[in-house]
């Protein structure tokens, strides 16, 4: 897997270096949560962290998105910037929903490469398959809509690219261990009352075992 070396990531994580935001994600084994380099939560001990080149790779490894630094809000700034145009094009197409209705074959055809080549490129640069990247893209789209709009759950499910409300709920239960409704309540509680102490989401022990 091609990405920044661990020392560079570790330095960026400890110093909360915003130039690295979007370049990598940090999974914390003790909590099962993954974060952006700019997460406001006190950094975990180095011995407990792993670095991933994409949010999808962190999720594929069993980590949940942090509710404080919101990985879905990270800028698009992959570590390879500028040099891997096929992967970038693929990412933009996936972000636009290319894998929500049709399969990887159609996507690779549009890119003019074979599906195996596409899979290899994704594994190398993102540490995840096109399908895993598409799943994370849908979840992130939906999470942003949950936080930023008043759309109904059914509308969000459709707009984010889930085939059904049921699928939307199932994927959120898997990725966040919470229903979309719970996440929205949490977001509105946060924006209404700034009185309470900050929540310590990433300090919470995970309830499911690591792969
Ligand atoms: Zn975080």
pLDDT of residue 200: 45
pLDDT, tens only, 134-190: 999 999 999 999 999 999 999 999 999 999 999 999 999 999 999 999 999 887 777
Q: The CATH number of 132-194 is which of 1.10.2020.10, 3.40.50.1820, 2.40.40.20, 1.10.10.60?
A: 1.10.10.60
Residue whose token pair is 């999974």: 27
What separation in Å is there between the alpha carbon of 26 and the centre of ligand 1? Answer: 9
pLDDT of residue 110: 95
What separation in Å is there between the alpha carbon of 66 and the centre of ligand 1? Answer: 4
Residue whose token pair is 């962290």: 49
Give CA–CA dist 211/206, Å, rounded. Answer: 13
Region 85-131: CATH code: 1.10.10
pLDDT of residue 189: 78
Number of H helices, E strands in the chain: 10, 4
Our answer to whether residue 23 is catalytic in this structure is no
In the chain, list all ranges with CATH 3.40.10.10: 6-73
Give CA–CA dist 67/182, Å, rounded. Answer: 12
Q: Which of 41, 60, 66, 160 is catalytic?
A: 66
What is the chain's alpha carbon radius of gyration, rounded to the nearest angstrom?
Answer: 17
What separation in Å is there between the alpha carbon of 1 and the centre of ligand 1? Answer: 23
What separation in Å is there between the alpha carbon of 115 and the centre of ligand 1? Answer: 34
pLDDT of residue 44: 96
CATH class of 6-73: alpha beta
Please name the residues in contact with 126: beta carbons below 8 A apart, sequence gap of 6 or more. 53, 54, 56, 57, 78, 87, 133
pLDDT, tens only, 14-65: 999 999 999 999 999 999 999 999 999 999 999 999 999 999 999 999 999 9
């Amino acid at each position: 897997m091609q990405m920044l070396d661990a020392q560079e990531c570790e330095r960026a994580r400890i110093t909360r270096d915003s130039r690295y935001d979007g370049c990598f994600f940090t999974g914390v084994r003790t909590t099962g949560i993954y974060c952006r380099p700019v997460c406001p939560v006190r950094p975990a001990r180095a011995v407990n962290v792993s670095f991933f080149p994409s949010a999808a790779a962190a999720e594929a490894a069993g980590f949940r998105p942090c509710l404080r630094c919101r990985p879905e809000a990270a800028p698009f700034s992959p570590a390879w910037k500028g040099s891997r145009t096929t992967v970038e094009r693929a990412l933009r197409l996936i972000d636009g929903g290319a894998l929500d209705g049709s399969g990887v074959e159609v996507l690779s055809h549009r890119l003019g490469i074979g599906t195996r080549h596409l899979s290899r490129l994704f594994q190398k640069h993102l540490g995840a398959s096109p399908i895993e990247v598409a799943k994370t893209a849908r979840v992130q789209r939906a999470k942003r809509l949950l936080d930023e709009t008043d759309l109904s759950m059914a509308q969000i499910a459709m707009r984010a690219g889930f085939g059904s409300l049921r699928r939307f709920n199932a994927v959120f239960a898997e990725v966040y261990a919470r229903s979309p409704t719970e996440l929205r309540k949490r977001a509105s509680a946060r924006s209404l009352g700034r009185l309470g102490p900050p929540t310590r989401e990433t300090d919470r022990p995970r309830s499911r075992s690591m792969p």
